[in-house]
Amino acid sequence: MRTFKLIFSHILIFLLLSNFSLSAQENLINEKVFSEIQLAQLRFQQELSLIQDKLREDNEPFLLIHEKKTKVSFLLIHGFTASPWEMRDLGQYLHGKGFNVYGMLLDGHGTKEEDLLNTKWEDWSQSVEDAYELTKLIGDEVIVVGLSTGGDLALHLAAGKPEVSGVVSLASAIFFQDWKINFSGIGKYFMKYNFRPLPPVLKHYYYENRAVSAIYEVYKLSGVVKKELKNISQPVLIIQSKNDGTIKPESSEYIYKNVTSKNKKLIFLENSPHVLTTIENPKQNEVFETINYWVENLKF
């Protein structure tokens, strides 16, 4: 009976808040009607309900929280044509270390390949902005972790929001191994998709056919971030594989040299793939431990 009442009360609160603007919802926090953790849960469920029917199985965003708001929370941003799945192991690790974590979903991802055809990098940036607002509800300080294009979006967010407490850049996309990306702005008029064969185990979590128009958006975003690096003064941790087949390793050196952060660290890994956060990386645990150690030693 108690469980039923608890579920029923959550449903009522969800229905109530779904009709409130974000500012009105925040007023309810100020008036101590709801806690920030409760509001984060409800916002998450509200947003998930809007896309649930379109999502591929196991491609959904995730919210891993403790009973109370933590000193530090993490916003995890996946890469291009990927899904939150590639950040889930990291999220579970950080949650196990006592942090609240939000693994977000970028616009046009985790559903079907066609959804990327008309998506712009600004749409992905808006996804990150919205996710950041939610992540602020679950932690006093927000650390943003991005992989590949997600790393670019994390840097872009930090450049525009000095209140972001820190950035972890994992193989962020500045310089590309494939020279054809530089001409994707022309290529999109002649080619709808670029096919990338994937192992069967990964086909469910990534798009094999990548919209060339969206590849051009990745290229444009990298140019924007290059110009913005000078505006980043927050602590920055940069991790890059020397064997990255997608992003040139000098991308991370460029980021390190151009951010104005006093607290910045660059780590290169040997014998690791582009995607540093999944089990395919033999040094996955080393990456996770490095992030945790770095954050534990930040002074806020």
- Domain residues for 108? 59-296
* pLDDT the model gives residue 133: 97
Whether 37 is covered by a domain: the verdict is no
Give pLDDT, residue 300: 84
Q: Is residue 101 part of a domain?
A: yes
Q: Examine residue 74 and state whether it is found in any structural domain, yes or no.
A: yes
* Residue 76 is assigned to a structural domain of this protein: yes
| CB-CB contact of 258 with 179 (8 Å) | no
Sign of CA dihedral 203, 102, 160, 300: negative
| CATH code for position 120 | 3.40.50.1820
Q: Does 121 map to a domain?
A: yes
Task: Give this prediction's pTM.
Answer: 0.90
| pLDDT at residue 7 in the model | 46
Exposed e or buried b for every residue in 95-107, given b needs 16+ CB within 10 A?
A: bebebbbbbbbbb
The list of the chain residues with pLDDT below 70 reads 1-33
Q: Is there a contact between 47 and 17 (Cβ–Cβ < 8 Å)?
A: no
Residue 174 · residue 226 · CB < 8 Å: yes
Q: What is the pLDDT of residue 19?
A: 52
In a domain, 138, yes or no: yes
Residue 257 CB coordination number (10 Å):
11
Does some domain include residue 174?
yes
pLDDT of residue 34: 73
Our count of domains for the chain comes to: 1
DSSP E strand boundaries for 17-118: 62-64, 70-77, 100-103
